[in-house]
Every structure is written in C-alpha cells, then in structure tokens.
Amino acid sequence: MMVLAIMATAGIVLLLGGRFYAPLIARILGEQPDRTTPAVALEDGRDYVPTHTPVVFAHHYASIAGAGPIIGPVLAIIYGWGPSLLWILLGGVFLGAVHDYVATYMTMREGGKNLTVVARRYIGKGAFVMLLVLLVAILALVCAAFLDLSAKALTSKVDIATLQLPLDQTLFRVVDGEAVIGGIASTSVIMITACSPLMGFLYLKRKWSVWVCSALAVLICGISIVVGLYFPLAVNPLTWKLMISGYVLISAGLPVWLFLQSRDFINVHILYAGIVFLIVALVAAAIRGGGQITQASAIPLNNWSQGSSLLGPGWPIMFVMIACGAVSGFHSLCAGGTTCKQLRNEEAARRVGYNAMLLESFLAVCVVCCLAVGLSLNDYILYRDPGGTGGNAVLTFAMSVGHTAHVGLGLPVAAGALGAMLLLEGFLVTTLDTAIRLTRYMIEEGWGTFFRQYDVFAPKVSKAKLATEQPEDIGELAGTGGLNIEKPHLEPEDASGDVIETRGVLRIILKTLQYYWVNSGLAVALMLVLALTNGYDAVWKIFGSSNQLLAALALLVGTVWLMKRKQTVWYTLLPALFMLATSLTMMIRLLVKSYLPGVQAGKAGALPLFIADIIVLAMTGGILWLIIRRRPTMAKPRTE
C-alpha cells in the first residue's frame, strides 16, 4: 500500500498549499475580485477575450503542462523516487505555484502585458531587450524539445510480446515485428484540431453553456480516438515535424478562440481523463498488492549514487531535469502572453495560476508512482538508457503506465500504453501551439522596440502629449483598478518625438516585419534549426536549465514589481535566489562539460546548443546587473 500512502500524502500537501498558502499570498498582493481586468477593458475578440474561468484554466493547464511533468520525472527518477517526489512537492507549492500565480497577477495588473514589458517599466529598456532575446532563445529550446518528443511519440515501437498481444492483433500497426503505439494518438490530435473552430464558435460566439460545450468536447475526444484506432497516422518523423510546424505557423496569427483556446479546451478532457486513469490504476494496484515498491528489483527510494555516476551530480541536474513538475519559467510566458488577457476577475488569477501548477505537480507525482510500480530498475534502464544514445523517455512512460494498468486493473499492457500516448501527445501539441504564438509576440515586440524611430513602428502617443496632458486625458490602463495612471506606465521612453519617414526598400522590409506570418515563420524556423539538429535527449538539459533560469528571473522581476509598491517580497525573492543558483550552475556545467568540447570536436548539433547557452548566460548576466544597479531606487517609482 506504499504507493497509496505516497499519493495521499502528496495530494494533502498540494491541497494544503492551495488552501492556505495561496490565499496568504493573495492577501499580501491585495487581490480584489471586483477590479477591472484587461480582458474586460480591452476586449478585442482576438487576444483580449474575457472567458469563463474553467475554460481559461483548461487552456492554461494544457499549455503549461506539456511534456514537462511527464518526461522530467522519467529522466530524473534514476536518482531515486524519494528525492524526485520531495522536489516535486516542495518545488510545486513554494516555487512553481507561487511563480505562476505572481506572474499571472502581475501581468494582469500591468494591462495584460507580458514579462518583458513589465521588466522595461520597472527595470529599464536594457532589461527589456536582454529579456526579449533570452525569451526567444528559451522558447526556441522549448519548441524544439517538444517537437522532437511529439515525433518520438508518433513513431515509438515496442515488441508485440511485451505488449501482451497476439501476433495477429489489429490494434496497432506492425513494422518489422514491432507495434507502433503512437499513430492513434496523432490521428486523435488532428481530429480535435479540426473540430476546434466549431467549439470556439459555440462557446464564445453563440454563448453556449460551458458544461454543454464540455459534454460536446468529450464526444469529440471519444470519436477522435475511435477514428485513430481505425486510421492511425503513418508518416515518418520528419514529415510529422513539418506537418506540426505548418499548423503552428498558421494558428499563431489567428484569433485565440479559433484554434488555441478552443483546441486546448477540447483536448484537456483527454488530459483530465488521463490523470484520472493514472490515479485509478495506481490506487487499484495498491489495493491488489501491486503497489509495493520496496522489492529488490524496483526503482529504489534513493539511488543518488548510481544516478550521479550515470548523469552527473544530483544537484543541480535532478532539479533541472524534473523541470515543469516543480517550477517552470515557461509558465510565466503563458501567464503574460495569453492567460492574463482572458481572465474576467482577479480571483481567477489565483485559481488558474496557482491551482494549475498544483495539478501539474500532482501529475508528476503520478508519473513517479507509475514508474516505481510499473517498471523494475533494469527495465527502466533498458527503456530510458541514461547516458546512452538509444533511450526513449516517451516509450518508458508508456510502458510504465501499461504495466501499472495491468497490475491494478488487469488491462492488457497495450491498453495502458495507448492511454499514456494519448495523454502525452495531447500535451505536446497544445504546448507547441502556445509556445509559437508566444515567440511571435516576443519577436513583434522586438521589432517595435528596435525600429520605433521609423514611421512604420512609431508609437501613437508622442512625448509632447505625455508632457502636456493629464493621465486622465490620455486614458486609463486596464488592470490598474481605477487609479490615476502614473507616467511610467505610459512608457514615455517608447514615445517618438522625431519620426523618420521611410520609403522604398526599407519601408517594404519594415512593413513585412509587421505581418504575423513572417514572425510566426521566424519562430518556426528557430524551432526547426534546433529540432532537426538535436533530439530531445540533447536539448532537454539546456531546456530545463534555461527554463528554470527564466523562472528565477521572472520571480526577480516580480520582486522588483512588489518592492516598487513597498510590499512583502520574501515569498518571491527566496525561491528566485535558489533557482538562480541551481540553473546558473547547470548552464555553466553544460557549457564547460558538453557544448564547448562538442564544438571543438566538430560534433553534429553542438554549435546551436553552444550558441544558445552563451546567449542565455550573457542575457542573464546583463539583467542581473541592471537589477542590482537599480536596487537603491527600487522603492521609488520611475520618473524618467
């Protein structure tokens, strides 16, 4: 019954965090449920769309979860399930959920602007530029890792005998005597995507009830799986990567309700069902006596020594490999990019931001338990192949779920593995969808900053207007609660006095940079450069490191934001310092131990990772210097 005790303890810890710690932070922040939000004040039907909290939660959770809370524990449990669980729970409650909630609340209060804009307002233009470059690099790593994992899920194969299926089975395609277990999930993803515009039209345009739309979403999910069983997708990994790239290229510029929000709403029902399936299978395994994870062959409670000998020191490696299961900087981009533009009240920022992270952490707990129950240490190493070249974390997760469902529910291993693939493939594509849109936002903000002196990108509010008119004459920024606008919020450093008129080739180029498909194309190109030269196993460590480094920086920006308001900062500053030390140590280790030697040896794919590491470290150093330099004036509002 040990696995049952673990799950119960984890659930209680996470629930207590949501019940007591989140409201404490809300009181410190000054949460006011009746305050106007950007989604209401700036509603445009495209990006700013006030939406029911359950729908926003579905979109946010589907976007942030991705493969992180699944693949992270799969890679890190080699250090033992005890250290993994401890970091997931403590990190989730005191770091990850706090980070997500504060990022959502802060960006909402700043008019639905993302983290880079907040940094510019409170730290300076230099921080904005460096953070912008850093975010584009990190998002490219996120997209590359998840795109490769999506292709891995599609083409993962396993011996039919291992799945406990007869040779004449028809559930999976068979290639060279092995069953391909990912094609069904990919067909399901395509069908759900095709139905998304209808769902968005019904719940947003026709104002159908959320619960009616939810029932319809469940029906769509069921039909998509049935169709997948009969027509599993059969393409090679490169074709699938290009197909997904084409989809996100188009969807990144369409109204948020057409694909992004509505597809996440449909797909999240599979994700919810998958989590429930994991819980039921684990509970059943515990009741039937299969939940004992102390047998000699099992993955041990503490395997720190062997893990360190195979992958390197547990700190910082385990802490960054688990990634999104404990804390993730990518969540701040989702919070400031799309989520904060959809919230109808401030209380929703807590219910979406904090609670979605708790659910993600619980998913990571379930994954750890499935690995401990479903696989022996030898089987885990065989599938995972730590430190080797033949590993497949996607298959490791699928087989662990398959064996857990077999032990607990008596289902064929194949059924559990199929359920795991449906869960994972859905998470992967939803995150890619959001991440490319966020990258597009960042690139567009970059053009607007770098070329604001030209008429094509010149801001509409002039310095003269800012100097002569009162804030109430200019208009109130959404999300400030009816308070008079301070001039720093109007960003006078962006207003143009002398505008350079453009013509000819220069004007054509600048106009071209305003098209969403150009910026989406740049985002997709960056993703493909990394994804086609390196697999997820090579990208994951730098993705995890830079992702959690971003979390540290987001918490530091939040700390500055709070200090400007003379509010308590310990709950953001302490997590920020810990993650800063952990992630910087890992980034420097990767640079010295892996990427620089790889470049010197001419190793394929090493150069893009080396460049990404250098960019992330350089931008981080610059941002930290600006924060330290401005420290004496943090208690005063900006006046320049």
pLDDT per position as a tens digit, 380-415: 887 766 444 446 788 889 889 998 998 889 888 888
Q: Which residues contact 484 (CB under 8 A, 6 or more apart)?
A: 471, 472
Token match 């953070």: residue?
Answer: 131
DSSP reduced 3-state for 343: coil
**Does the N-terminal peptide bond of residue 492 adopt cis geometry, omega within 30 degrees of 0?**
no
DSSP per-residue codes, 256-285:
TTTTHHHHHHHHHHHHHHHHHHHHHHHHHH
Distance, in Å, from the CA atom of 169 to the CA atom of 415, rounded to the nearest integer, reads 13
- CA 431 to chain centroid: 6
Stronger pLDDT, 178 or 334, i.e. the higher one: 334
pLDDT, average across residues 433-453: 85
Contact predicate 372/299, CB 8 Å: yes
Would you say the C-alpha torsion 280, 282, 283, 284 has a positive or negative sign?
Answer: positive
Q: Going from the N-terminus, what domains does the chain have, and what CATH number goes with each?
A: 34-451+516-633 (1.20.1740.10), 463-512 (no CATH)
Determine the pLDDT at residue 294: 58
Q: How many CB atoms lie within 10 A of CB 288?
A: 12
- H/E stretch holding 133 reads helix 125-155
Cα–Cα distances (Å) from 114 to 132, 167, 176, 332, in that order, read: 10, 54, 49, 8
pLDDT, average across residues 5-28: 95
Distance, in Å, from the CA atom of 54 to the CA atom of 61, rounded to the nearest integer, reads 10
Distance, in Å, from the CA atom of 217 to the CA atom of 48, rounded to the nearest integer, reads 23
pLDDT per position as a tens digit, 137-153: 888 888 888 888 888 77
Determine the pLDDT at residue 558: 93
Cα–Cα distances (Å) from 378 to 72, 78, 386, in that order, read: 19, 11, 12
Residues in the chain: 640
Structure tokens at 593: 């131990």
- H/E stretch holding 173 reads strand 173-175
Determine the pLDDT at residue 355: 96
Q: pTM for the full model?
A: 0.83
For residue 459, what pLDDT band results from cuts at 50, 70 and 90? low
Determine the pLDDT at residue 1: 66
The pLDDT mean for the chain works out to: 83
Residue 555 scores a pLDDT above 90: yes
- CA 305 to chain centroid: 30
Residue 587 scores a pLDDT above 60: yes
Token match 């004496």: residue?
Answer: 632
Contact predicate 127/629, CB 8 Å: no
pLDDT per position as a tens digit, 342-389: 999 999 999 999 999 999 999 999 999 999 888 888 888 877 664 444
pLDDT per position as a tens digit, 305-322: 988 998 899 999 999 999
Distance, in Å, from the CA atom of 90 to the CA atom of 553, rounded to the nearest integer, reads 19
Give 486-538 as a 3 state SS string. Answer: CHHHHCHHHCCCCCECCCHHHHHHHHHCCCHHHHHHHHHHHHHHHHCCCCHHH
- Of the candidates 319, 343, 263, 268, the residue with the CA atom closest to the CA atom of residue 101: 343
Contact predicate 124/567, CB 8 Å: no
For residue 290, what pLDDT band results from cuts at 50, 70 and 90? low
Determine the pLDDT at residue 498: 75
Distance, in Å, from the CA atom of 324 to the CA atom of 272, rounded to the nearest integer, reads 17
Four-CA torsion 19, 319, 139, 384, nearest 10 degrees: -110
Q: How many CB atoms lie within 10 A of CB 47?
A: 19
- Of the candidates 571, 576, 565, the residue with the CA atom closest to the CA atom of residue 627: 576
Residue 96 scores a pLDDT above 90: yes
Determine the pLDDT at residue 486: 34
DSSP per-residue codes, 561-579:
HHHHTT---HHHHHHHHHH
DSSP reduced 3-state for 639: coil
Determine the pLDDT at residue 460: 56
